[in-house]
């Protein structure tokens, strides 16, 4: 049966309109994605860090605050917790800084911010610490991290860091914080911090703790004296006096160290 004259001319405008609508919808979706992917978009108040293109600009409190908000905890906006530091699926602070969470750079970073406990950054400490570092973006902080890591080469700076680390690592959210540090955490920190040749016995002392398991926790006296022992007593044990006021943990280590391997 022949088609009625004019049927095609009535269908064509509808097809053209539908195609135009599809193109318009696709363009709108593309524009929306482009808007979301733009860090400078004013519509993203929390989850987009400040742009790093102004890395030479003067420190800005508003920019720094927005930077903090990008990583802040969803349940407590006054702090950045472990999720914001190492586990956040879309934007991880350590990942964006190209550093390992178990690195000297991150330890020094926490020290400079005077973080109050391991795995957390409070906003007030973040703001004051970043102002001192003159950082309000990932790009600025990333440039500072190598310099921070080198500070531990200075003996006095290292001692201050070392003393602070004990309090920081054992702190919890408990009303009464523990007095001692878990030995496994202490071991990890010593392995991280004490890589310089000026520290003696590090490998053998850590092996002693691992093999013999003489203690479950490390107290402040043991923590402090281990630093002095590692600096002043070399592998020949020259200068070691069993009658000196070393903690029992170190005296027992020396007795273990004297015994030849395999005996």
Average pLDDT, the chain: 81
State the Cα–Cα distance between residues 59 and 55, nearest whole angstrom: 9
Token pair 């911010």: residue:
113
Structural class in CATH, domain 155-258: mainly alpha
pLDDT at 89: 36
**By C-alpha distance, which of 74, 73, 100, 76 is closest to 86?**
100
pLDDT at 254: 98
- Of the ranges 52-61, 111-120, 131-140, 191-200, which one carries the lowest mean pLDDT score? 52-61
- Measured CA angle at 180 (ends 174, 183), to 5 deg: 115
Please report the DSSP string for 56-73 in residue order: TSPP-HHHHHHHHHHH--
**By C-alpha distance, which of 87, 102, 244, 74 is closest to 187?**
102
pLDDT at 139: 93
- Of the ranges 36-50, 72-86, 185-199, 209-223, which one carries the lowest mean pLDDT score? 36-50
Task: Give the C-alpha distances (Å, rounded to integers) separating 234 from 168, 216, 231, 238, 242.
Answer: 29, 26, 8, 6, 15
Band (pLDDT 50/70/90 cuts) for residue 119 is: confident
pLDDT at 108: 93
Reading the block at residue 16, the tokens are 């053209």
What is the pLDDT averaged over residues 9-23?
Answer: 51
Would the pLDDT of 71 be above 70? yes
pLDDT digits (tens, 9 = 90+) for 17-53: 555 555 555 454 444 433 333 333 333 334 445 544 5
pLDDT digits (tens, 9 = 90+) for 143-163: 999 998 899 999 999 999 999
Beta bridge partners of 182: 217
pLDDT at 16: 52
Would the pLDDT of 1 be above 80? no
> Phi, psi (5° rounding) for residue 47?
-90, 10
pLDDT at 18: 53
What is the pLDDT averaged over residues 153-175?
Answer: 92
CATH fit for domain 52-151, picks 1.10.238.10, 3.90.1640.30, 2.70.170.10, 3.40.640.10: 1.10.238.10
Residue span(s) of the chain under CATH 1.10.238.200 come to 155-258
Band (pLDDT 50/70/90 cuts) for residue 81 is: confident
pLDDT at 95: 85
Of residues 64 and 24, more confidence is placed in 64
In sequence order, the 6+-apart residues with CB closer than 8 A to the CB of 60 are 136
Would the pLDDT of 181 be above 80? yes
User: What DSSP element (H or E) covers 205?
Assistant: helix 202-212
Residue span(s) of the chain under CATH 1.10.238.10 come to 52-151
Would the pLDDT of 9 be above 90? no
**Percent of the chain at pLDDT exceeding 70:** 75
CB 171 within 8 A of CB 120: no
Of residues 213 and 22, more confidence is placed in 213
6: Cα separation from own chain's centroid: 72
State the Cα–Cα distance between residues 65 and 62, nearest whole angstrom: 5
pLDDT at 86: 55
């Amino acid at each position: 049966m022949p088609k009625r004259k004019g049927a095609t001319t009535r269908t064509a405008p509808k097809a053209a309109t539908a195609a135009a609508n599809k193109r318009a919808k696709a363009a709108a979706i593309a524009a929306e994605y482009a808007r979301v992917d733009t860090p400078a978009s004013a519509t993203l108040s929390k989850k987009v860090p400040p742009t790093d293109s102004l890395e030479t600009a003067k420190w800005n409190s508003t920019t720094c605050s927005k930077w903090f908000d990008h990583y802040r905890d969803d349940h407590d906006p006054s702090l950045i917790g472990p999720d914001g530091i190492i586990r956040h699926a879309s934007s991880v602070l350590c990942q964006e800084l190209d550093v390992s969470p178990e690195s000297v750079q991150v330890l020094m970073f926490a020290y400079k911010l005077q973080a109050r406990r391991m795995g957390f950054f409070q906003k007030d400490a973040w703001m004051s610490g970043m102002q001192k570092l003159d950082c309000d973006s990932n790009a600025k902080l990333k440039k500072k991290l190598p310099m921070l890591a080198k500070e531990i080469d200075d003996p006095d700076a290292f001692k201050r860091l070392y003393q602070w680390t004990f309090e920081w690592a054992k702190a919890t959210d408990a009303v009464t914080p523990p007095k001692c540090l878990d030995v496994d955490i202490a071991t990890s920190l010593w392995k991280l911090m004490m890589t310089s040749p000026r520290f003696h016995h590090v490998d053998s002392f850590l092996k002693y703790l691992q093999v013999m398991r003489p203690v479950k926790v490390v107290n402040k006296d043991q923590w402090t004296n281990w630093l002095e022992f590692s600096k002043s007593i070399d592998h020949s044990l020259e200068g070691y006096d069993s009658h000196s006021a070393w903690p029992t943990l170190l005296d027992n280590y020396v007795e273990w160290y004297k015994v030849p391997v395999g005996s």
